[in-house]
Chains A and B, each alone.
Chain A
Amino acid sequence: MSTNRLMAWLLGCVAITLLLTFGSLVIGTSSVETSLGWILSPDAQSSVVLWQIRLPRSVGAWFAGALLGLAGAIAQGVFRNPLAEPYLLGTASGAALGVTIILVAADASIGGLTWASKLGVTGAACLGAGGATLLTISLSRGVLQTRSLLLSGVVVAFLLSAITQLLLLAKPEIWRSMQSFLFGSTGFISWSSAGLLGAVFCLCVVPAALLSRGLDALTLGEDTAQSLGLSLPALRLTLLGIVSLATAAAVGEVGVVGFVGLVAPHLVRETLNVNHRQLLIGAPLCGGALLQAADLASRWLIRPAELPVGAITACLGGSYLVYLLWRRSRNA
């Protein structure tokens, strides 16, 4: 793996990201010509649209995608399974339950309304995701048994989804507000959300990159990693903590966006032969660009209306995985 190729790859990713950011500035309900005119000769109204609505949305989408890509790359390394993804520990269903509870509380206009509005949908989603992770880890009695962790993750996901469904049955009127969350939506990202996502990203990517050697060692098997002088419980707990923090933040801001966390690390591995340090930098770049592109497509395909961004990532990611499978079976 030559350094030049890696540099070219990274620069390519950055260039695509800049291009997509520019694209999301000029594409919207107004025509491209109008948007270009806005950029060239800004007025008060257009600058609000450009810099307070479109730009934070695009930047936020990048950070959310980057967080999912990072979480996916770490999860695949910790579980030593290329099909692992960020929602494995039950975070998505936990976040959905959190949002449902908050909506039910707000809708019922009961005494809980003040705390509900203070916490907000984002806070509820983060709390739900964090709670689900803790539940999964305590169900599997620690982080050392991969199989029981995966199993508890599945159990927790089913259990929490069932509770969510029951709540939705009891209060069908909140279903519409839940929809945008369950399909994933980049439509509500403000500068403060983008800032929060960016801060969490920095908080996650630095320790993850520092621990990348541990992920490299884990590819040799847990026993060998341990014999090299690694503390397996501490390493896994820290890495899974990063995964759940990154996922909770992303899900809290943009809802349950599928496939980005699964596909981004694969895209990196397919185009580069990388160790984990490079993967943990490449996968966020890839995931960010992916979600930005999906966000752009969600606004453009049926303009002036919008598609849910999660539906687009599912289509893109799903077809990419099918392509991978098809190519593997042809090569084999």
Chain B
Amino acid sequence: MREALTSGVAAATSPALSCEGLCVGYGSRVVLEGISLAIPPASWTSVIGPNGCGKSTLLRALAGLEPARAGAIFLQARRLNAWPRRERARRLAWLSQTAPVTDLTASEVVSLGRFAHSGWLAHRQADDDAAMHRAMTATGSLAWASRRLSTLSGGERQRVHLARVLAVEASVLLLDEPTTHLDPPHQEDVARLLRDQALRCGVSVVSAIHDLSLALTADRVIVLGHSGVVGHGTVREALAGDWLSAAFETRVNIVEHQGVHLWRPALEAPARLSIEP
């Protein structure tokens, strides 16, 4: 099955999350139109595209936070809005682009990730504690468990929120820029963590990451342009078809170095914005 996934013939297995003809907009502005995607189980997908192309909107819509004007979203072959609220929240977790500041302590924030499991009374069971502990260990946020979020740095706060999302133990994770505010080694940690979630825990991870080199370490990519989906498939397919250049409407240089794809800023090429001497 792993081979089937990595070679991009995942359509045979039923997708963890999918949408058909999805259309989302704000007011009179249509942001996404006619989007059809299928996210296979146990995979890590990067959403790549220029600013304002609708990456966040896509993730929000898939999380059920933005109403679809047309089309349908399916979570495990059942319509997203047909799921009971808490059952859905146990299967699908979403991380916002901005890491919210709060006066709660880190462990209180992570325990909110268990809300869909433990409910209103917050009577934590052993498995809740275990999930919280695993999530905080994996993100390296255990050390400041009893500190208030408002006293942490941006990067530390980001890792606490990541721990909250992991603590849900959902089968689908939608992460909007999980590596913002993080220094390069910690970005690396997060990328490794997401890959582990996909390969070892069978989770479908969908993440929007701005750093192209980091984004291309995923198994699959969804490349969004201003006029919709440019392509959806494996990283190799994306590079072969040069989807990135099409999406960004400019030449995007990706070099392969020891099996790793790196984005190389091409300063010698004719830049779009040239500075007169």
CB–CB B103/A219 < 8 A: yes
Q: Tell me whether A224 and B105 are in contact in the complex, defined as CB-CB below 8 angstroms, given that A1-B146, A213-B122, A229-B89 are known contacts.
A: no
Q: Tell me whether A227 and B89 are in contact in the complex, defined as CB-CB below 8 angstroms, given that A217-B115, A221-B96, A273-B148 are known contacts.
A: yes
User: B266 → chain A, closest Cβ, in Å?
Assistant: 37
User: B23 → chain A, closest Cβ, in Å?
Assistant: 20
Q: Tell me whether A220 and B112 are in contact in the complex, defined as CB-CB below 8 angstroms, given that A227-B94, A229-B89 are known contacts.
A: yes
| B86 interfacial by beta-carbon distance below 8 Å | yes
CB–CB A211/B120 < 8 A: yes
Across the interface, name the chain B residue whose C-beta is closest to A234.
Answer: B85
One digit per residue, 1 when the CB lies within 8 angstroms of any chain B CB and 0 when it does not, for chain A 218-251 equals 0111011011111100000000000000000000
CB–CB A223/B60 < 8 A: yes
Across the interface, name the chain A residue whose C-beta is closest to B102.
Answer: A219
| B113 interfacial by beta-carbon distance below 8 Å | yes
Q: In the complex the two chains form, what is the Cα distance from A27 to B88 in whole Å?
A: 60
Across the interface, name the chain B residue whose C-beta is closest to A214.
Answer: B120
One digit per residue, 1 when the CB lies within 8 angstroms of any chain A CB and 0 when it does not, for chain B 69-99 equals 0000000000000000110111011101010
CB–CB A227/B93 < 8 A: yes
Within 8 A of B (CB), among A111-133: none
CB–CB B88/A210 < 8 A: no
Across the interface, name the chain B residue whose C-beta is closest to A228.
Answer: B115
Tell which of B63, B98, B103 touches A227, judged by Cβ atoms closer than 8 Å.
B63
Q: In the complex the two chains form, what is the Cα distance from A221 to B85 in whole Å?
A: 18
Q: In the complex the two chains form, what is the Cα distance from A228 to B168 in whole Å?
A: 9
User: A149 → chain B, closest Cβ, in Å?
Assistant: 20
One digit per residue, 1 when the CB lies within 8 angstroms of any chain A CB and 0 when it does not, for chain B 13-27 equals 000000000000000
Q: In the complex the two chains form, what is the Cα distance from A273 to B86 in whole Å?
A: 29
User: A217 → chain B, closest Cβ, in Å?
Assistant: 5
User: B105 → chain A, closest Cβ, in Å?
Assistant: 7
User: A213 to chain B: which residues have CB within 8 Å?
Assistant: 112, 115, 120, 122
CB–CB B104/A219 < 8 A: yes
User: A229 to chain B: which residues have CB within 8 Å?
Assistant: 85-86, 88-90, 115-116
User: A306 to chain B: which residues have CB within 8 Å?
Assistant: none
Q: Tell me whether A217 and B112 are in contact in the complex, defined as CB-CB below 8 angstroms, given that A227-B94, A273-B148 are known contacts.
A: yes
User: B156 → chain A, closest Cβ, in Å?
Assistant: 16
Q: In the complex the two chains form, what is the Cα distance from A217 to B116 in whole Å?
A: 12
CB–CB A275/B85 < 8 A: no
Q: In the complex the two chains form, what is the Cα distance from A221 to B102 in whole Å?
A: 9
Q: In the complex the two chains form, what is the Cα distance from A153 to B115 in whole Å?
A: 32
User: A277 to chain B: which residues have CB within 8 Å?
Assistant: 122
User: B234 → chain A, closest Cβ, in Å?
Assistant: 28
User: A230 to chain B: which residues have CB within 8 Å?
Assistant: 85, 115
Across the interface, name the chain B residue whose C-beta is closest to A218.
Answer: B102
User: B81 → chain A, closest Cβ, in Å?
Assistant: 13
One digit per residue, 1 when the CB lies within 8 angstroms of any chain A CB and 0 when it does not, for chain B 90-132 equals 1011101010101111001100110110001110000000000
Tell which of A211, A224, A231, A269 touches B100, judged by Cβ atoms closer than 8 Å.
A224
Q: In the complex the two chains form, what is the Cα distance from A219 to B99 in whole Å?
A: 11
User: B90 to chain A: which residues have CB within 8 Å?
Assistant: 229
CB–CB B94/A224 < 8 A: yes
Across the interface, name the chain A residue whose C-beta is closest to B150.
Answer: A273
Q: In the complex the two chains form, what is the Cα distance from A221 to B109 in whole Å?
A: 12
CB–CB B96/A224 < 8 A: yes
Within 8 A of A (CB), among B197-216: none
Q: Which 9 A/B pairs are nearest by Cβ-Cβ distance?
A: A229-B89, A229-B116, A219-B102, A227-B94, A229-B86, A220-B100, A228-B115, A221-B100, A223-B65
Within 8 A of A (CB), among B244-275: none
User: A221 to chain B: which residues have CB within 8 Å?
Assistant: 96, 98, 100
User: A274 to chain B: which residues have CB within 8 Å?
Assistant: 103
CB–CB A226/B115 < 8 A: no
Across the interface, name the chain A residue whose C-beta is closest to B112.
Answer: A217
User: A217 to chain B: which residues have CB within 8 Å?
Assistant: 112, 115
Given contacts A219-B100, A227-B64, could you give 16 more A-B pairs where the C-beta distance is less than 8 Å? A213-B115, A214-B120, A216-B112, A217-B115, A219-B104, A220-B112, A221-B96, A223-B94, A228-B113, A228-B116, A229-B89, A229-B90, A230-B85, A273-B103, A274-B103, A275-B105
CB–CB A226/B100 < 8 A: no
Listed residue (B64, B88, B105, B120) with the most chain A CB atoms within 10 angstroms of its CB = B120
Across the interface, name the chain A residue whose C-beta is closest to B146.
Answer: A1
CB–CB A220/B103 < 8 A: no
User: B85 to chain A: which residues have CB within 8 Å?
Assistant: 229-231
Q: In the complex the two chains form, what is the Cα distance from A309 to B94 in whole Å?
A: 49
13 contacts between A and B (CB under 8 A): A213-B120, A213-B122, A217-B115, A219-B100, A219-B102, A219-B103, A219-B104, A220-B112, A224-B96, A227-B92, A228-B89, A229-B90, A277-B122
User: B108 to chain A: which residues have CB within 8 Å?
Assistant: 216, 275
Q: In the complex the two chains form, what is the Cα distance from A277 to B121 in whole Å?
A: 10
User: B93 to chain A: which residues have CB within 8 Å?
Assistant: 227
Within 8 A of A (CB), among B45-60: 60
